[in-house]
Chain A
């Protein structure tokens, strides 16, 4: 089954403790991206990648890092999480010029 898989689904952590949210897709898509969803703001793009070793900032990149060492994986790294990063995070993948496929989301709480 074609899918985008994020882990974990739920994560509670404390300020400053580094964490990684994993994202994997099995559709051989070139493009992958991360979004965060906040009430009243919709979804906003954090980072995106157009291919292996090619990443760029989206609209809200501060406090986040990404890497794309393999085509199928695109982890989101928070090196020093803060409470304002409490949010619902979505990973997405797409072929070039195609429609985005979203994962089921990761709900992160930073205390």
Chain B
């Protein structure tokens, strides 16, 4: 069965600093990988996704992620964080079975200091 690990429960960065959120997955085949963001009281917004091809994926709001098969990782990065990026971030792995089921990590709460 697939699984996703987000080792950092909380991360605090200063506004303008760079950000990297870690995600490791376990899955027997080539994964579909996603990053979602959830602002307080809001639903889930898709930041970016990897299905195949170029391993560096660009997303919305200036985020990018890199798929590294050898490390089973899909880390999310942003070169300069804005205060509005404070939210909870979820990494997920998907496959076409189970009705396009996603298996989520436990999330990383990002705090941005001004």
One digit per residue, 1 when the CB lies within 8 angstroms of any chain A CB and 0 when it does not, for chain B 1-14 equals 00010000100000
Which residue in chain B gives the minimum CB-CB distance to A9? B41
B residues at A contact (CB < 8 Å): 4, 9, 34, 36, 42-44, 46, 49, 90, 92, 94, 96, 98-102, 104-107
Cβ contact within 8 Å between A105 and B43? yes
Some 22 contacts from A to B, beta carbons below 8 A apart, are A33-B99, A33-B100, A35-B102, A42-B106, A43-B90, A43-B104, A44-B104, A45-B98, A48-B100, A50-B99, A58-B98, A58-B101, A90-B44, A97-B96, A99-B34, A100-B46, A100-B100, A100-B102, A102-B36, A102-B43, A102-B44, A105-B43
Binary per-residue interface labels of chain A (1-37) against chain B in the complex, 1 for a CB within 8 Å, 0 otherwise: 0000000000000000000000000000001110100
B96 touches A42 (CB 8 A): no
Q: B106, A48: Cβ atoms under 8 Å? A: no
- Chain B residues, Cβ within 8 Å of A96: 96, 100
Contact B99 A41 (CB under 8 A): no
**Interchain CB contact under 8 A, A42 and B43:** no
The answer to the question of A103 belonging to the interface, with a C-beta cut-off of 8 Å to chain B, is yes
A interface majority secondary structure: strand
Residues on the B chain within 8 Å of A45, using CB: 98, 101-102
| Bound-state Cα–Cα, A50 to B100, Å | 9
Chain A proximity of B103: nearest CB distance (Å)? 8
Flag whether A62 is at the interface (Cβ < 8 A).
Answer: no
Q: Is A94 an interface residue (CB 8 A)?
A: yes
A90 near B43 (CB under 8 angstroms)?
yes
Q: Which residues of B contact A98 (CB under 8 A)?
A: 100
Given contacts A42-B105, A43-B90, A104-B42, contact A97 B100 (CB under 8 A): yes
A49 within 8 A of B: yes
